[in-house]
Amino acid sequence: MVECWISTFQIITFIFAKAGVKPVENFDPLDSQRLRNPLFADLNQEERQSKCIEIHQARLLRAIEHIRDSIRMAVARDFLRKQWITDDQFKSIVLKSTVTPSHIASTTDQPDSDMAEVLDTFIATSPASSKSLTGDGEPVDVDL
């Protein structure tokens, strides 16, 4: 998985370089020096840091909305693990998710009874399926 990400990163970097776009080295979106909006000029250092976190989280939450459903929760969990979003923001993402709760990993004390229902649907429909595959190691003879 890491190799895939590195490869993708290299491809994107190559495309950017070809287009003349140079990435900012060691970019930190939480660096208060990046906050150059005149509206925030009068904020003290602590307030500037809080504003940077607020803006960064808003951008991440906006990005999450555009990520396809099948990977949205994994990305949100990674953001939470890195402490880029809060627990409450993560819970909000879970509640908004279009993936049904059964698809979200959870623990439960109730046993899974679906398998018994599935096993009842298997019916021998041909001579090949009614012969034992665990006999003396010989292949099943089927007259086709």
Separation CA 79–CA 61 (nearest Å):
10
Give the C-alpha separation, 11 to 50, whole Å: 34
- CB of 41 within 8 A of CB of 69? no
Task: Specify the DSSP class assigned to residue 40.
Answer: G
109 CB-contact burial (10 Å; exposed 0-12 / middle 13-18 / buried 19+): exposed
For the chain, the first-to-last Cα distance in angstroms comes to 45
pLDDT band of 12, cuts 50, 70, 90: confident
More confident residue, 117 or 61: 61
Task: Find the helix or strand (DSSP H, E) in which 41 lies.
Answer: none
Domain ranges of the chain: 26-104
**8 A C-beta contact, residue 64 and residue 72:** yes
Q: What is the pLDDT of residues 63-121, one digit of tens each?
A: 999 999 889 999 999 999 999 999 999 999 999 886 555 555 554 555 555 555 555 55
- Cα distances from 46 to residues 28, 53, 57, 58, in angstroms, run 16, 11, 17, 18
What per-residue confidence (pLDDT) applies to 31?
Answer: 92
Q: What percent of the chain has pLDDT over 70?
A: 63
